[in-house]
């Protein structure tokens, strides 16, 4: 039997609406792992917000986090954490430019979350219901640290959208961004290094584990999964995924994330009972 390297997004893909991995999906992934396949999480979440899911599946596999900006193997002390971060100078420049209209912002760096005007609701949007250790949360002005974060979350006033996006587009060779929507007052953006995508993380892990490209499968549902789904040999969009992901996928699951779509697809694709 050919062995496959399988990359799975979390929110909207592997997790249900309660941010849980069902017992059926968990047992299926364990069975797949026991047959020699590898299941690797590839998520936009930072480490502290996905480590429990990682341990539920296989704590010995690589882990792609921060939309490909960070790759680590927590169980392997000899593996250097790979970080493709935003240069500190540019991080500071963006913060200073945005600060008059910046409602809240945060980023993860190593095992800590650095937050400017912390808002729990913003944290929950991107990190789910995962409780953050208060000792791991640093309230600060971003200028106080020379960190190079793999990703930034910015909540800005709507009146600043055009200026903000112009800044990002003027730095398109250095930064990439996702617009995650707005309400009557505020807009939410996710910003990363221009070279960072989930696909860049997939390529690193593929080489690390030495799998042939034709044995690579990936599952995703949203905008930040597009490069990964389109760039692997067999990219699969979730039934509940956005149209943009479905348009570049090789296939679409028959079931949604609420219906164990990934697990059921793999059972059929790998011809398992």
Q: Which domains does the chain have, with CATH numbers?
A: 5-82+196-269 (3.40.50.1000), 88-193 (3.30.1240.10)
- pLDDT score recorded for residue 124: 67
Q: What is the pTM of this model?
A: 0.84
Work out the average pLDDT over 229-244: 97
Q: Tell me: the pLDDT tens digits for 42-92?
A: 998 888 888 889 999 988 899 999 999 999 988 777 778 888 899 999 999
**pLDDT tens digits for 102-122?**
999 999 887 788 999 988 777
Q: How confident is the model at residue 129 (pLDDT cuts 50, 70, 90)?
A: low
DSSP string, the chain: ----EEEE-IIIIIS-TTS---HHHHHHHHHHHHTT-EEEEB-SS-GGGTHHHHHHH-TTS-EEEGGGTEEE-TT-TTSPPEE-PPPHHHHHHHHHHHGGGEEEEEEEETTEEEEES--HHHHHHHHTTPPPPGGGEEE--GGG-----SEEEEEEEGGGHHHHHHHHHHTTTTEEEEEEEE-SSEEEEEEEETT--HHHHHHHHHHHHT--GGGEEEEE-SGGGHHHHHHSTEEEE-TTS-HHHHHH-SEE-SS-GGGTHHHHHHHHHTT--
């Amino acid at each position: 039997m050919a062995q496959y390297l399988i990359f799975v997004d979390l929110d909207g893909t592997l997790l249900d609406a309660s941010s849980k991995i069902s017992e059926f999906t968990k047992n299926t992934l364990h069975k797949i792992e026991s047959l020699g396949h590898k299941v690797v999480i590839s998520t936009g979440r930072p480490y502290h917000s996905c480590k429990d899911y990682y341990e539920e599946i296989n704590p010995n596999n690589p882990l792609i986090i921060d939309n490909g900006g960070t790759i680590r193997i927590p169980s392997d002390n000899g593996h250097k954490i790979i970080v493709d971060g935003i240069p500190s100078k540019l991080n500071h420049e963006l913060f200073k430019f945005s600060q008059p209209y910046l409602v809240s912002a945060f980023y993860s760096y190593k095992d800590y979350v650095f937050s400017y005007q912390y808002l729990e609701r913003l944290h929950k949007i991107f990190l789910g219901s995962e409780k953050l250790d208060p000792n791991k949360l640093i309230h600060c002005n971003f200028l106080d640290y020379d960190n190079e974060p793999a990703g930034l979350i910015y909540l800005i006033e709507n009146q600043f959208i055009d200026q903000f996006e112009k800044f990002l587009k003027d730095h398109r060779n250095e930064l990439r961004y996702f617009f995650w929507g707005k309400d009557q007052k505020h807009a939410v953006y996710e910003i990363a290094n221009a070279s960072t995508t989930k696909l860049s993380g997939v390529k690193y892990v593929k080489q690390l584990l030495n799998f042939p490209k034709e044995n690579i499968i990936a599952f995703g549902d949203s905008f930040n999964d597009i490069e990964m789904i389109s760039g692997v040999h067999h990219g699969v969009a979730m039934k509940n995924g956005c149209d943009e992901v479905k348009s570049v996928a090789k296939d679409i699951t028959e079931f949604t994330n609420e219906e164990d779509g990934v697990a059921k697809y793999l059972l059929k694709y790998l011809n398992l009972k």
